[in-house]
């Protein structure tokens, strides 16, 4: 009897090895095939990573596979290479990356085709409705061209590369040509363009050139809301754009994956998860708003940053990569300084408009002279009034959702906190309730102190209260709110209504600062800006500047200057000086270098969580000692700080401790990171503590 053939299989689990399985007689598989197997008495679908291997374990104990999943798509070799690159860099298992890339879902090809047809028919109906309502001939002609393109797709014809011309200004064309030369030299491009400079037109020009060469394009955005507005813009040029993010159904995501797998040249618009589609012929990866922290996945593993991962994917696919932002991250600016990236500047707005005027209002001084009405200074209210009377729109940013961030007893002073987290509960109206924004715990709000039955008083104002105040101040105006409490199904409608002028004032959290394009917006206002600049983090000033500069850029497009009004208790803060043209990126980079912070070093956070705080404190100190011993053998050992309790040190019933490991940026970095991962793994296994420890590479 012939001996069985053995294979190694990647399972969607946190495993440091790839288990062996035996093939039944007569069964053959290839790398990338999907197979059903048993592991720890549970059934999984894995991906074959190696065939005809000699097991490093006793052959008689190796289980046979349960079957081959011929109906499931095969994993491409490029995908496995990408998974391993992510696994190596972010110190997680290949299985965890596989689980992120291939969530369990079955969808046959007939269902895929039916759903694609249904989607195209829905788009066709919307376009015909827009064509009927169009008032201008050029707008009507644009819709007619899109209708013809979608009708061609429904007939099964290959779409034209472009249905609308892309017109670049001389400045934009110069930037595009510089990018092409950088691509020819194998460099990543950092497109630093002021808000409204026309970065999107350059992206689309380069995308069209890539598609014309028969290669695919991946266009990444940090937020679902941005993809929804950008989809219409891209569809005017490339009507067969595929959209991929968590806001579309699982079935639709499977359709897009099938389309990418079976098409040599297509364009995909998506959020970070679109990196894990079965790309096989990528020619261009666009990472828009590259500075945005939404590109970083915090949990579960892989805890990857889509910006860095896009560059890894570009190397594997031999694809060009362009990163774009009006406020590039210091990491990207550093990479441009050191020659890893080529920086391309776009300093002029597309419509030659001026930058928004900045006005800083000192709320301490205003309260002293009774110049405040609730959350608003009288100066800001006058600005809002004048803007509305001119027929223009207003965006109001308050970086905290809820009615009030916390409540306090007027008798004993107690502030109700979440029973599972060390944070105050926020008051939400309609129905009245106290909510923990970290674990989601909710309690009915009675208005009475749980300790002494005294009256509870709201402290501060969240977006709900700001909306209420504005409704009272401007009763004849259309006012709406967009924040984390807005249902996903309503988010796109609110953005569309504001873009079409059906909303006068939109109140929101950070989401409204993103890269939206609103023609009628002239005034943007920031309430309690101190919550942005007062964060205890070495990146706080960088992030606050990025957010404020991005928000400033939302106003005053189409050649008309806008205004940004910032209400703050600290009008002399350096972030505001930088916003007004003061200190720049060079100063911030010099500060990072002086204190040994990224991008001059690389950080890894080792996080421990446990419901037993005494055990947590003991084992976190033991782990620190282990790391000092293992990492201290290096020529230039990393700095190990901690364990310490983070600002929020208890979430969902588990206490938290962190150890920060700061690596020198040299040739030993990869080996040192591997040593760290091995030390943590050995410690977790020996102490039976593995499930309590996570590693976060390049935390944000």
Q: Indicate the pTM of the whole model.
A: 0.88
Peptide bond just before 599 cis, omega within 30 deg: yes
User: Residues of the chain whose pLDDT is less than 70?
Assistant: 1-3, 104-116, 119, 138-139, 156-165, 350-354, 557-559, 582-586
- CA–CA gap between residue 568 and residue 583 (Å, rounded): 19
Place of tokens 């010099």: 590
Which fold is adopted by the domain 5-101?
GIY-YIG endonuclease (3.40.1440)
Burial 7-16 (b: 16+ CB within 10 A, else e): bbbbbbbeee
CATH architecture of 166-346: 3-Layer(aba) Sandwich (3.40)
Find out if CATH 3.30.1360.40 is the number for domain 601-697: no
pLDDT for 363 equals: 96
**661 neighbors 603 (Cβ within 8 angstroms):** yes
Do 166-346 and 357-403+461-589 show the same overall fold? yes
Residue 324 has phi, psi (to 5 degrees) of -130, 145
**Contacts of residue 208, Cβ cutoff 8 Å, sequence gap at least 6:** 161, 162, 166, 237, 238
- Residue 116's pLDDT is 63
CATH, domain range 357-403+461-589: 3.40.50.300
* Cβ-contact 639, 595 below 8 angstroms: no
Give the integer Cα–Cα distance in Å for 237 and 160. Answer: 9
Domain boundaries, the chain: 5-101, 106-157, 166-346, 357-403+461-589, 601-697
């Amino acid at each position: 009897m012939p001996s069985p053939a053995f294979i190694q299989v990647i399972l969607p689990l946190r495993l440091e090895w790839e288990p062996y399985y035996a093939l039944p007689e007569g069964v053959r598989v290839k790398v990338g095939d999907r197979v059903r197997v048993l592991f720890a008495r549970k059934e999984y679908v894995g991906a074959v990573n190696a065939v005809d291997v000699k097991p490093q374990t006793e052959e008689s104990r190796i289980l046979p596979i349960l079957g081959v999943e011929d109906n499931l798509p095969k994993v491409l070799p490029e995908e496995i290479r990408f998974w391993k690159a992510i696994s190596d860099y972010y110190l997680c298992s290949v299985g965890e990356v596989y689980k992120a890339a291939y969530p369990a879902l079955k969808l046959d090809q007939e269902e895929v085709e039916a759903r694609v047809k249904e989607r195209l028919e829905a788009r066709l109906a919307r376009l015909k409705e827009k064509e009927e309502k169009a008032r201008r001939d050029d707008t009507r002609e644009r819709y007619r061209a899109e209708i013809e393109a979608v009708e061609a797709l429904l007939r099964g014809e290959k779409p034209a590369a472009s249905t609308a011309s892309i017109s670049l200004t001389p400045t934009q064309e110069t930037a595009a040509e510089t990018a092409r030369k950088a691509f020819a030299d194998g460099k990543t491009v950092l497109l630093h363009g002021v808000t409204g400079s026309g970065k999107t037109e350059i992206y689309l020009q380069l995308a069209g050139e890539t598609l014309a060469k028969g290669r695919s394009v991946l266009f990444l955005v940090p937020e679902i809301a941005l993809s929804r507005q950008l989809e219409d813009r891209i569809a005017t040029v490339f009507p067969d754009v595929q959209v991929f993010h968590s806001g579309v159904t699982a079935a639709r995501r499977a359709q897009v994956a099938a389309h990418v797998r079976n098409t040599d040249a297509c364009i995909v618009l998506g959020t970070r998860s679109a990196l894990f589609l079965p790309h096989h012929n990528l020619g261009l990866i666009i990472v828009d708003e590259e500075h945005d922290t939404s590109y970083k996945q915090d949990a579960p593993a892989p805890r990857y940053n889509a910006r860095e991962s896009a560059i890894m994917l570009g190397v594997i696919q031999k694809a060009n990569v362009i990163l774009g932002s009006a406020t590039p991250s210091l990491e990207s600016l550093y990479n441009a300084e050191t020659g890893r990236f080529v920086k391309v500047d776009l300093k002029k707005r597309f419509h030659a408009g001026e930058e928004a005027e900045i006005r800083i209002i000192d709320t301490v001084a205003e309260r002293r002279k009774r110049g405040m009405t609730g959350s608003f200074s009288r100066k800001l209210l006058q600005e809002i009034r004048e803007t509305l009377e001119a027929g223009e729109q207003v965006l109001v940013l308050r970086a905290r959702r809820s009615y009030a961030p916390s409540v306090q007893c007027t008798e004993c002073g107690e502030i109700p906190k979440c029973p599972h987290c060390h944070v105050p509960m926020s008051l939400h109206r309609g129905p009245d309730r106290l909510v923990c924004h970290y674990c989601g715990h909710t309690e009915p709000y009675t208005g009475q102190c749980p300790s002494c039955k005294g009256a509870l008083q709201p402290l501060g104002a969240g977006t709900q209260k700001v909306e209420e105040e504005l409704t009272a101040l401007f009763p004849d105006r259309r006012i709406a709110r967009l924040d984390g409490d807005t249902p996903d199904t309503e988010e796109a409608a609110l953005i569309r209504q504001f873009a079409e002028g059906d909303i006068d004032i939109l109140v929101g959290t950070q989401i409204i600062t993103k890269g939206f394009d609103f023609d009628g917006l002239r005034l943007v206002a920031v309430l309690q800006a101190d919550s942005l600049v007062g964060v205890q983090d070495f990146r706080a000033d960088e992030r606050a500047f990025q957010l404020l500069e991005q928000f400033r850029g939302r106003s005053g497009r189409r050649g008309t200057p806008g205004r940004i009004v910032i209400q703050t208790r600290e009008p002399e803060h350096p972030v505001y000086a930088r916003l007004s043209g003061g200190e720049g990126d060079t100063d911030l980079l010099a500060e990072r270098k002086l204190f040994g912070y990224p991008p001059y070093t690389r950080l890894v956070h080792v996080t421990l969580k446990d419901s037993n705080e005494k055990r947590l404190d003991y084992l976190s100190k033991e782990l620190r000692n282990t790391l000092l011993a293992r990492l201290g053998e290096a020529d230039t050992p990393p700095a190990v700080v901690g364990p310490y309790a983070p600002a929020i040190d208890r979430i969902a019933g588990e206490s938290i401790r962190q150890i920060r490991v700061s690596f020198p940026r040299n040739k030993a970095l990869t080996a040192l990171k591997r040593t760290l991962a091995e030390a943590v793994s050995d410690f977790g296994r020996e102490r039976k503590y593995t499930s309590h420890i996570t590693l976060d590479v390049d935390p944000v």
